[in-house]
Structure 1
Amino acid sequence: MPVYCITGANRGLGLEFVRQLAKTPDNTIIATTRSMSSDLDDLKAVSSSNTHILECDTGDPSSIESFTSETKKVLSGKKVDFLLNNAGVNSVPTQNSLSIGPEDLQREISINVIGPAKTVESFIAQDLLAQNARIMNMSSGLGSMSVNLSINPRKCATYGISKAGLNMLTVHQSGDLKGKLSDVIVICMDPGWVKTRMGGEGAVLEPEVSIGGMLKVLHGLKDGDNGKFFTYTGEEVKW
C-alpha cells in the first residue's frame, strides 16, 4: 500500500488528510507537527496503527533535515509515494500592499515557500521519494494573479505573495525533479475556502469535501498534469 507524508497534520486540512487516509489501515502515513509538545489528541484520535507522528518545523531547515532523517529510519527502505506539503501560515490577513510588515512577509515566505522547497530537497537527498512520487504543494486561490484581479478589495497580501511564490516553486520543481525521478508529478492545489481555523469566519466548505476532492485529484494525476495548478474539484486554475 502507498506511503503518504503530510506536513502540518495536527489540525485543519492536514488533520482531515490523516483522518481520511487512515480509514485504509494498510496506508502508511507520516504525519508531522511543528512541535511534539503541541496538542496531539485530535491527531492521535484519527490515526491508524500505521500512522507515525513526527516533529517538523517547516520554517526551520535544520528541523526539516532532522525530520527526513527520522522518516528514513521509520520507513526502513520504503519510499514516499505522496508528499503533501500542507503546512502553512496566514498570520497577518489584514495587511495589504501598503502596510506590509517586512518581518511578517519574511516569516510567511520562510514557511510557505522555503519550507516546501527544503522539504523536497531533503527528501531527494535522503532518497526517500518513489520514482512515480506525487508531490502536492498546498496553495490558494489567493496565490493566483487572475483570481486576485477579480477580488476587490484585495486581501491577505503577505499570504497571497507567499503562495504566488509557492506556485512558481511548483513549476520549477516539476522540471528539476524530472532529472531525479522519472515519473514524478508535482502540482499545487487550491483547497477552496475551508472551515478551518485558518479559513476563519465566512468559510463555506467542509474539510471532508475539500480533502476528499484533493485526494481524488491526486490519485488521478497523469503525466500531462505535471507543473499545473488545480482546485480541489480538479479544475485547472489560471496563474
Structure 2
Amino acid sequence: MPVYCITGTNRGLGLEFVRQLAQSPDNTIVAATRSLSSDLGDLHAVASPSTHILECDTSSVASIHAFVKEVRRTLGYQGKIDFLLNSAGVNLASSQSSLSLGPDDLQQNMAVNVIGPAKTVELLLDAALLAPDIRILNMTSGLGSLQLSSGMRPRKCAPYSISKAALNMLTVHQSEDLRPHLPGSVVICMDPGWVKTRLGGEGAVLEASQSIGDMLAVLHGLKTEDTGALYHHTGEKIPW
C-alpha cells in the first residue's frame, strides 16, 4: 500500500489531493492540517478509513518536529512515505509590490512557503520516514518563475512570488542533496494552474479536481532523471 503524506489538507488543493487519493483503499494517507481544533468537516467527509489526520503547522519548526513524531507512531517502526506532497501555502499581502514590501509579511510567506517544506523534508529524512525512491512534490506557482513573471504587466503578488521563486531553488537543492541518502528519490516543483480555491481568488479558471488529477498523473509517471524540474500541472516543463 503506497503511503502519501500531504500538508495543508483542510481546504483547497490539499483537500482535493485527499479526496482523490482516498478513492482507492490501497492508499494510506497522512493528512496534515494546521490545527486539529479548526473546522475539519470537509476533510473528514472525504477521508478514507486509511486516512490519518494529524496536526502540522508548517510555519512552526516545533510543530513539524511534533508532527514527525506522530507520523512515526502512526506508520510504525518500518513505515515509509512513498509520496510527500508539500501543498500547504499562503499568499499574504498580495497587494504589496517590490516598492511596498512589508518585512513581516515577506517573512510569513517565506516561513510557510519555503522554510516549511525545507524542514518537513529534513526532519522526515532524519526520522528515516522517507522511502528510498520517495517522490516529493513542492507546490509552487507560475508567479515563482522569473521568466514568466518578467512578461507580466503589472507584476503580481510580490511577497508570494518571491517566496515561490525561493521554493523553486529549494527544490533544486533538495533534488541533489537527497540523492546520497535516498538514491531513487525524485524532487520536483509543480504549478497547479490558476485554480478555483480561496487562495486562487477571483478570476481563477481551473477546477481543483482537474488540477489535482493532472498533477497526480505527472507525479505517478516521474522517472529518476526528472528530479529537480519545474512542471505545469499538465506535465509541461516551465522555464525557471
Aligned to 1:13: 13
Aligned to 1:148: 149
Q: Distance in 1 between matches of 2:211 and 2:26?
A: 23
Aligned to 1:205: 206
Aligned to 2:57: 57
Would you say how many aligned residue pairs link Structure 1 and Structure 2?
239
Q: Distance in 2 between matches of 1:228 and 1:117?
A: 17
CA deviation after TM superposition for structure 1 residue 232, in Å: 0.5
Aligned to 1:171: 172
Aligned to 1:44: 44
Aligned to 1:3: 3
Report sequence identity in percent: 64
Aligned to 2:69: 69
Q: Deviations over 1:147-183 (max 9, x none)?
A: 1011100010000000000000000000000011010
State the SS of the aligned residue for 2:178: helix
Q: Distance in 1 between matches of 2:92 and 2:19?
A: 25
Q: Distance in 1 between matches of 2:26 and 2:184?
A: 24
CA deviation after TM superposition for structure 1 residue 25, in Å: 1.4
Q: Distance in 1 between matches of 2:219 and 2:79?
A: 20
CA deviation after TM superposition for structure 1 residue 38, in Å: 0.9
Q: Distance in 1 between matches of 2:16 and 2:110?
A: 24
Q: Distance in 2 between matches of 1:38 and 1:225?
A: 37
State the SS of the aligned residue for 2:194: coil
Aligned to 1:90: 91
1:229 aligns with 2:230: yes
CA deviation after TM superposition for structure 1 residue 26, in Å: 1.9
Amino acid in the other structure paired with 2:216: L
Aligned to 1:103: 104
State the SS of the aligned residue for 2:83: strand
Q: Deviations over 1:73-109 (max 9, x none)?
A: 1001210000000101001111111110000000100
Q: Distance in 2 between matches of 1:89 and 1:196?
A: 12
State the SS of the aligned residue for 2:25: coil
Q: Distance in 2 between matches of 1:126 and 1:223?
A: 23
Aligned to 1:129: 130
CA deviation after TM superposition for structure 1 residue 224, in Å: 1.5
Aligned to 2:193: 192
Q: Distance in 1 between matches of 2:7 and 2:60?
A: 13
Q: Distance in 2 between matches of 1:150 and 1:203?
A: 19
Q: Distance in 2 between matches of 1:133 and 1:25?
A: 20
Amino acid in the other structure paired with 2:52: H
Q: Deviations over 1:101-132 (max 9, x none)?
A: 00000010011000000000000110000000
Q: Distance in 2 between matches of 1:198 and 1:26?
A: 30
Amino acid in the other structure paired with 1:7: T
Q: Distance in 1 between matches of 2:5 and 2:224?
A: 21
Q: Distance in 2 between matches of 1:2 and 1:46?
A: 18
Amino acid in the other structure paired with 1:35: S
CA deviation after TM superposition for structure 1 residue 32, in Å: 0.8
In angstroms, what is the RMSD of aligned CA positions?
Answer: 0.5
What TM-score does the superposition give when structure 1 sets the normalisation length?
0.99
Q: Distance in 2 between matches of 1:17 and 1:60?
A: 23
State the SS of the aligned residue for 1:103: helix
Structure 1 gaps of 5+ residues are none
